[in-house]
Structure 1
Amino acid sequence: MIKTFFYLKTDKQNKEGESPIYAKIELQGKTTTLSSGKFISKERWVFTNKLRNTLRLNPEKNCKMAMELLENKIECIYFELSKSNPNTTLFDVKNKLNGKITLEGDIDIIKLFEKHNYYFERKSIAGERSKASLQKYNRAKDLLLIFIKLKYRKTSFNLTDIDNQFIYNLETYLKYESTFKSKVGISHNSVVKYFQCFKTVCKYGIKRNLIRSNPFLCYDEKLVIQDAIFLTKDELKRIEAKEFSTERLNRVKDIFLFSCYTSYAPVDVEKLTKNNLIKDSDDAYWIKTHRAKTGIKSNVPVLLPVKRIIDKYAHLEGDKLLPTISNQKINEYLKEIADLCSINKKLTHYVARHTFATTVTLGNGVAIENVSSMMGHTRITMTQHYAKVLDVNVKNDMNKLSEKFN
């Protein structure tokens, strides 16, 4: 609970020999002070018991009224801010009271990160953002804090002090010096993605009038787009035809094939329930959901291989559409599946998503706009990262062109 006390700052006086009345605000063991804008002589302050006695002089009545209004305003501001941010500080209350916004020099990057990640955590709990994305932002904050501690011997860093040298020193640290589980350094693409986190956190601050500018905008390194690993039609059929001796491998195979024919990422597959399976007016089945990562709609028609897998697990207790297996375990078992099916590729669950974009859809003539919609992308360029242009598509298009010339 926030509390306000008033005292006389006797070391200061105006021309009339009066001293300013100050408010001392206390919250969770911390205090801050600010001027009430009113003055009174030390004698009258003592005589009236800090203006608590019955007052007869109008100037003193005005002072008391101003103090009561200020105390009430402080409480109202605190409760207002606490509704949207339970971690409201005295700093926030004082800035709001003075009609000021928090500028770059008043807030450090770690504090801004904490505000953003608390906001993101609430969205994650509500199912609007994925837990994996929250972990990424928390990891980005931790890396930044470690860098600041090592290079600057501090636990915070004001945004106004972040310059180009800071940013490129941070890049060097992440790429060549940071350690995680005995591994030194982070790959180029991962570093670029962490800087995307830094930029997003600052955008959050700008939108909420916490800061005015984004110091990370000068970082312009791009992702190095590599050819996505995907399965060919032959490799896909090889896995479909294979029956394994253990139930765990058969389950992982089914979940993997389900993703190959729907594009759903691991976190999305895990959340699917029988309520996501919809039959339209033409008696065709659809899986309708929103991507956990972005919240974007991702509706996919149920192909025959998918319908077989769904029917196979229709007996499951509860409302889950498929068995639940951790992404870590799935990737571990997929290595076994690749070996047993003589597939010389590093299989991960995300290879299924690439396979959907490349082999299942684009390879069969589905328009990239429709592929983008089913994958829950907001831009075609995002789909192009997954979808490799197949030689067969080029050949088919060129055959059509040849027919016109002939």
Structure 2
Amino acid sequence: MLKVIFYIKSQKMNKAGESPIMAKISYKLKNVAMSTGKFISAERWEFTNRLRNVLKLEREKVLKQSLDNFQFAIEKKFNELYKFDPEVSLLLLKKELAGKSRTETASVTILQVMEKHNSYFKRKVNAGERAAASLQKYERAKDLLQNFMRKHYNLSDIDATQVNSAFVHNLEDFLRYESSFKGRTGIKNNSVVKYIKIYKTACNYCIKLDLLAKNPFNVFQGRLKVTDAVFLTQAELNLIEGKTMPAERLGRVRDIFLFSCYTGYAPVDACGLTEENIFTGNNGELWLITNRAKTAIQANVPVLPPVANIIQKYRGKQPGLIPKISNQKMNAYLKELADICCIDKHLTWYVARHTFATTVTLGNGVRIENVSAMMGHTNIKQTQHYAKVLDENVMDDMQKLMDKYK
């Protein structure tokens, strides 16, 4: 809790024999002192009990009001900084109150920028507002940045103000062609763009805290390359549903996969669903209601018959609506599932999400605005990346046109 105490430096006096009034600001066992710019004699300070008694002299009344205003300014600025980071820096608070410009803020290294942001993001994860997998990406980005500086500059860290266009360009090249992870060398374009976006996000966070004056990563002009999302047709969905599985584990994987195909939930969201996420609508229909772990946006989806059957099949057998399984095992078993069903596509858990957007919803005439809402997207553009127009939809529309011209 923030605490402000006023005191005087009795050992110092101006020509009028008055001592400067100081403010001691304390927060979380740390404190900083700063001058209020006001003066009072030690005798009057003690006589008025630090200006707490009923004051009779007009000058002291004005002085008391000035100190009250000063304390109010401290608390107001503290609350502004607290909104961005509860670990408020008292030195930064002091600089803000002194009216220092952003260019005069304390020096911060680029790794400190990442650590500051990741610490903030971790609190959001602990509060259930963001996904733990996203935090892992931010930590991985910090490690890559550190590896780059060691290899190219033989440094463990540098001041953030020294990050220039050449640094960003060299970092991009390092990520694309030299970085290594799990035995692989180099990162593909979209991952490079996402990593540098992470650095940009961390810098923007520190700009809000007045730790940085500008974002050095704004010079990066890379763009994501839009690739066609893999999805299943209705015939392929029917094939998977009707296929007899040779092993119980593959049966579970098939059910989990189909659950996501008919709900559009990402892995982390699907595995977190419980009976508490099932709600009954005004017309008696069942809905799944939850917030996406990635964006904290509500994603409400009606329970389609295939989903209802899967929920009933596993009801009471585990804490959640469906069995839990790791992404790694799930994707490995989906390869077996594709082979068994003779589907020549690289199946992953996210293929189910693409299938929901394309085949299950848009392919059956559901408006893209509603699809976007069910998938928990922040805008239609995100949905358009997943949702591809099916050939049969094009042919249906063109057949109407053909009939008209006939």
- Between the aligned partners of 1:281 and 1:31, the Cα distance in structure 2 is 56
Given the superposition, is the C-alpha separation of residues 21 and 145 from structure 1 closer, same or farther in structure 2, using an over 3 Å criterion? farther
- Between the aligned partners of 1:374 and 1:24, the Cα distance in structure 2 is 52
Q: Is there any run of 5+ residues in structure 2 with no aligned partner, and where?
A: 48-62
Aligned to 1:392: 392
1:268 partner letter: D
Aligned to 1:255: 256
Aligned to 1:133: 134
What's the offset of the Cα at 1:214? 2.1
Kept in 2: contact 1:104–1:158 (CA 8 A):
no
Instruction: Tell me, yes or no, if structure 1 residue 298 matches structure 2 residue 323.
Output: no
Instruction: Tell me, yes or no, if structure 1 residue 381 matches structure 2 residue 371.
Output: no
- Between the aligned partners of 2:81 and 2:149, the Cα distance in structure 1 is 30
Deviations 1:127-149 (A, max 9, x none): 11111111111111221222223
Secondary structure of 2:175 counterpart: helix
What's the offset of the Cα at 1:111? 1.8
What's the offset of the Cα at 1:38? 10
Aligned to 1:43: none
2:331 partner letter: N
Aligned to 1:277: 278
Counterparts of residues 218-229 of structure 1 (less than 5 Å): 218-229=219-230
Misfit runs of 4+, over 6 Å: 20-39, 76-84
What's the offset of the Cα at 1:158? 2.9
Deviations 1:71-90 (A, max 9, x none): x98xx889979966565556
- Between the aligned partners of 2:368 and 2:24, the Cα distance in structure 1 is 63
What's the offset of the Cα at 1:96? 4.0
- Between the aligned partners of 2:142 and 2:104, the Cα distance in structure 1 is 18
Aligned to 1:155: 156
Instruction: Between 257-266 and 124-133, report the one with greater CA deviation.
Output: 124-133
Aligned to 1:116: 117
Kept in 1: contact 2:200–2:215 (CA 8 A):
yes
Secondary structure of 2:299 counterpart: strand
- Between the aligned partners of 2:29 and 2:154, the Cα distance in structure 1 is 27
Kept in 2: contact 1:163–1:215 (CA 8 A):
yes
Aligned to 2:53: none
What's the offset of the Cα at 1:265? 0.3
Aligned to 2:341: 341
- Between the aligned partners of 2:328 and 2:32, the Cα distance in structure 1 is 49
In the superposition, the TM-score normalised over structure 1's length comes to 0.79
Kept in 2: contact 1:105–1:159 (CA 8 A):
no
- Between the aligned partners of 1:395 and 1:80, the Cα distance in structure 2 is 59
2:338 partner letter: A
Aligned to 2:212: 211
RMSD: 4.1
Deviations 1:300-323 (A, max 9, x none): 1111111110111112254x2111
Aligned to 2:358: 358
Aligned to 1:264: 265
Counterparts of residues 287-326 of structure 1 (less than 5 Å): 287-318=288-319, 320-326=320-326
- Between the aligned partners of 2:259 and 2:268, the Cα distance in structure 1 is 13
In the superposition, the TM-score normalised over structure 2's length comes to 0.79
- Between the aligned partners of 1:397 and 1:249, the Cα distance in structure 2 is 39
Secondary structure of 1:278 counterpart: strand
The sequence identity of aligned pairs, in percent, is 53
Aligned to 1:11: none
Instruction: Tell me, yes or no, if structure 1 residue 369 matches structure 2 residue 369.
Output: yes
Q: Is there any run of 5+ residues in structure 1 with no aligned partner, and where?
A: 8-13, 40-47, 55-64
Given the superposition, is the C-alpha separation of residues 122 and 102 from structure 1 closer, same or farther in structure 2, using an over 3 Å criterion? farther
Given the superposition, is the C-alpha separation of residues 357 and 104 from structure 1 closer, same or farther in structure 2, using an over 3 Å criterion? farther
2:306 partner letter: P
Deviations 1:353-395 (A, max 9, x none): 1111111112222222221111111221111111122111111
Kept in 2: contact 1:105–1:158 (CA 8 A):
no
Deviations 1:219-274 (A, max 9, x none): 12111111111112222111111222322211111110000011100000011111
Given the superposition, is the C-alpha separation of residues 192 and 361 from structure 1 closer, same or farther in structure 2, using an over 3 Å criterion? same
- Between the aligned partners of 1:29 and 1:153, the Cα distance in structure 2 is 37
1:298 partner letter: A
Kept in 2: contact 1:174–1:191 (CA 8 A):
yes
Aligned to 1:402: 402
Kept in 2: contact 1:104–1:159 (CA 8 A):
no
Deviations 1:272-316 (A, max 9, x none): 111111111211111111211111121111111111101111122
Deviations 1:162-200 (A, max 9, x none): 221111111001111111222211111100011111222
Given the superposition, is the C-alpha separation of residues 36 and 303 from structure 1 closer, same or farther in structure 2, using an over 3 Å criterion? closer
Given the superposition, is the C-alpha separation of residues 37 and 280 from structure 1 closer, same or farther in structure 2, using an over 3 Å criterion? closer
Kept in 1: contact 2:78–2:93 (CA 8 A):
no
- Between the aligned partners of 2:367 and 2:80, the Cα distance in structure 1 is 48
Kept in 1: contact 2:177–2:186 (CA 8 A):
yes
- Between the aligned partners of 1:25 and 1:207, the Cα distance in structure 2 is 22
Deviations 1:35-68 (A, max 9, x none): 89899xxxxxxxx9xxxx99xxxxxxxxxx9xxx
Kept in 2: contact 1:310–1:321 (CA 8 A):
yes
Deviations 1:77-118 (A, max 9, x none): 899799665655564354345343654873432222222111
What's the offset of the Cα at 1:22? 12
- Between the aligned partners of 2:186 and 2:248, the Cα distance in structure 1 is 39
Counterparts of residues 91-110 of structure 1 (less than 5 Å): 91-96=91-96, 98-100=98-100, 102-103=102-103, 106-108=106-108, 109-110=110-111
- Between the aligned partners of 1:370 and 1:131, the Cα distance in structure 2 is 27
Kept in 2: contact 1:289–1:297 (CA 8 A):
yes
Instruction: Between 144-153 and 303-312, report the one with greater CA deviation.
Output: 144-153
